[in-house]
Structure 1
Amino acid sequence: MLVQGDADKKIWVDFQQRVAKAPEQVLRYSRSSGAKPLWPMASGRASKSEIPNCKSCGGSLCFEFQVMPQLLFFFGGKNDRESLDWATIVVYTCANSCDSSLSYKEEFVWVQLYSQTT
């Protein structure tokens, strides 16, 4: 039986192996159909029901890019409770790329925190 802690460890190992191919990468972008974020943990992921529809056209949102935790290194992050910290930041945008008269459109951001597993 696989428990949540074991799932997180397996996902973390897979994440580390993938990131090792480009350790300086701080942003992952993909607008291709079916693209998915690279999650560092099993827990704290956005479920389909938690991702809202586009506020402009009502269509679905899809994964567009994510900010990797490696960016924290470039911010000079410290390892304490007051420091900026995240596992990953995932941005979802309108799958229809709908046109709107607004000068900007609100997208949806999901922040996966390390503390969600502790």
Structure 2
Amino acid sequence: MTLNSLMDSFQGDDDKKSWAHFQERIAKAPEQVLRYYRNSNSKPTWPVLSGRPSKDDIPKCIYCGGSMCCEFQILPQLLYYFGVENEVNSLDWASIVVYACEASCEASLPYKHEYARVQLYSPSACPIV
């Protein structure tokens, strides 16, 4: 039985299926803490479906009014390198995705406003094994 056939037969809600897909994808390079996206068609790898933004949830660029696209993603593995313990009320996230202007407008500015979407960790959707 291949991994793909296991994924196809995986029984669970959509968040658990998304978590399994995320784990499969990240397993290719488990030490990674940052994923950089080179083109505007790239989509982040969301750990769970709940809390994932729709296209309408992503604001327009405040400079040109154009669309914003995913620039990079910070993975929860970074918490391990920070030494964060798995405690109640501790720093925790499933993913942080930063969006930037698709047109890269206002290149003359040293710093530009970008949008960060934080997807919170859900113990029921992301079981630690």
Distance 2:53 2:110 in 1: 27
Distance 1:108 1:23 in 2: 26
> How much does 1:33 deviate?
3.0
Q: Determine helix, strand or coil for the equivalent of 1:78.
A: coil
Number of the residue aligned with 2:16: 9
Distance 2:123 2:64 in 1: 32
Distance 1:89 1:33 in 2: 17
> How much does 1:116 deviate?
9.2
> How much does 1:80 deviate?
1.1
Distance 1:116 1:90 in 2: 20
Q: Which amino acid aligns with 2:73?
A: Q
CA RMSD between the two structures? 1.8
Q: Which amino acid aligns with 1:73?
A: Y
Extract unaligned runs of 5+ from structure 1.
Answer: none
Q: 1:51 aligns with which of 34, 50, 58?
A: 58
Q: 1:109 aligns with which of 88, 113, 116?
A: 116
Q: Which amino acid aligns with 2:88?
A: R
Extract unaligned runs of 5+ from structure 2.
Answer: 1-11
Structure number with bigger Rg: 2
- Alignment of 1:96 with 2:103, yes or no, is yes
Provide Cα deviations, 1:3-26, integer angstroms capped at 9, x if missing partner: xx6001111111101111100000
Q: Which amino acid aligns with 1:18?
A: R
Q: How many residues align structurally?
A: 114
Equivalent pair of 1:44/1:117 in contact (CA under 8 Å) = no
> How much does 1:81 deviate?
1.9
Number of the residue aligned with 2:6: none
Distance 1:22 1:9 in 2: 21
Q: Determine helix, strand or coil for the equivalent of 1:80.
A: coil
Distance 2:109 2:124 in 1: 38
Paired-residue identity, %: 61
Number of the residue aligned with 1:22: 29
